[in-house]
Structure 1
């Protein structure tokens, strides 16, 4: 991406393109599925607080995460394998800042049916299933919050803010792009996709560290020191 935007390099070899496509899709999927695991964690913490330490263990989260990553990784390998078997005798221009899986099958002149099918399967696994799962967990969380006192409700809601912020930053640009379909401008689509792939990793350290007491205390000390120097 840096090579494309900063150095205006618009060429990539076929092998590098396949590698780029695999890892971009894999890391986007990992980010999406990690948000599922975090929503499950919040669901258990609020809806079954007394059983939280029993259900949410390092082992259980590791098993869930590995299973999700293996499923998407396997599907991604099949997708890259189908793509590598195509003959690209039409245009070789991809309107994206990475080797996007979506438009590539349409550049081929031989049978692209398996790749087109994977174009439907991967979004369902990486986008629609996570969105539906997270929406379902927060509906359950919302119902559970209505049954507790207002003071406890506010405390419980604070535990979800960082996760909801990441969910919004990650999914909203993709959902807008998917909803607009072919009507969306190519440059707008590139911007939306770049926001979804770049912003969550950049914001992760800030969002989660702001919840850490030590980090807040360090900020307060710096602020007091600045005031003291000014005075």
Structure 2
């Protein structure tokens, strides 16, 4: 007990991205553009689904929650990263992050990351029912079931994120407070702890399987069934539909789950360099939330139609 109370770390120092000083301005402009694209794209989806009654369906209920999750997930890390990069550009002291704020960032990072995982499973199941059982879609995907899936996703993510945050709060940090990352990542914090982290690592491994691996496998199975169902119709149109429906979705899903599973569940991740870890983290914290609006909605005819109806309803002059 005395060992835990000897030294209390009140703040951490985030190093940001491992890039050369002459590249700071270029990466700052790029990341700012990507962040603004993520915010505007996901906000547009939420507003369109809210305003257009044609989009009040199970698929777009899940999509609106996914867009909100992406918006918040990116906002958990990006503003702080941009602040760090701005400080480095101006060659002033990099702002530190208080201990409580670091744990808070970790909590919301886990919360919205887990929420996206569950929502992707719900969306894959929705598409599976719609394509494989079109005549029973309304009966299966009832409003009560959809609401239960959304509420269950929020509740499970709340408890999972809280569990890891409480386990992290019990650890002591005695000396080094420099985090070689751009956010308060769980694995980076564990490397700085001077107390026993075996319980934390065991919970990460067990819960990671439940929160990441099982949902990923369920998504793969759902899309495999979708492809099988579509390919039963021997036509070029059916094959094109299969690839257009599943190909882009699975690419983003693989990017999201692949990088997270590789970082947190694979033993080789412990031997990864800071640069490799940062690149993988950027994939699911920055790239995936930006791509989701394009993959799931902005290429969607329903969303385009909703945008036209909303614009015309507001009697904007260029609407014919």
TM-score range, shorter chain: 0.7 to 0.9
For the residue of structure 2 that corresponds to 1:67, the secondary structure is: helix
Pairing 1:193–2:287 present: no
For the residue of structure 2 that corresponds to 1:188, the secondary structure is: helix
Contact 1:42 1:160 in 2 (8 A): no
For the residue of structure 2 that corresponds to 1:135, the secondary structure is: helix
Pairing 1:77–2:162 present: yes
Corresponding residue for 1:5? 85
Aligned match for 2:148, one of 47, 59, 63: 63
* RMSD of equivalent CA atoms: 2.7
Distance 1:173 1:85 in 2: 28
For the residue of structure 1 that corresponds to 2:186, the secondary structure is: coil
Against the structure 1 CA distance between its residues 35 and 50, is the aligned structure 2 distance closer, same or farther, given a 3 Å change threshold?
A: same
Contact 1:36 1:133 in 2 (8 A): yes
Structure 1: which 5+ residue stretches go unaligned? 220-231
After TM superposition, the runs of 4+ consecutive aligned structure 1 residues lying more than 4 A away are: 175-180
Give the C-alpha shift of residue 56 in structure 1. Answer: 1.6
Distance 1:15 1:130 in 2: 31
Give the number of the structure with larger relative contact order, counting CA–CA contacts within 8 Å between residues 6 or more apart: 2
Alignment of 1:52-131 (within 5 A): 52-131=137-216
Aligned match for 1:171, one of 244, 257, 271: 257
Contact 1:42 1:159 in 2 (8 A): no
Corresponding residue for 2:290? 202
Against the structure 1 CA distance between its residues 129 and 6, is the aligned structure 2 distance closer, same or farther, given a 3 Å change threshold?
A: farther
Corresponding residue for 1:228? none
Contact 1:38 1:163 in 2 (8 A): no
Distance 2:133 2:164 in 1: 39
TM-score (norm 2): 0.61
Structure 2: which 5+ residue stretches go unaligned? 1-80, 89-93, 309-320
Against the structure 1 CA distance between its residues 80 and 48, is the aligned structure 2 distance closer, same or farther, given a 3 Å change threshold?
A: same
TM-score (norm 1): 0.81
Aligned match for 2:269, one of 181, 196, 205: 181
For the residue of structure 2 that corresponds to 1:103, the secondary structure is: helix
| Structure 1 residues 186-212: Cα deviation after superposition (integer angstroms, max 9, x where no partner) | 112112111211122222333312212
Distance 1:32 1:78 in 2: 17
Pairing 1:24–2:103 present: no
Distance 1:106 1:155 in 2: 47
Give the C-alpha shift of residue 156 in structure 1. Answer: 4.9
Contact 2:131 2:226 in 1 (8 A): yes
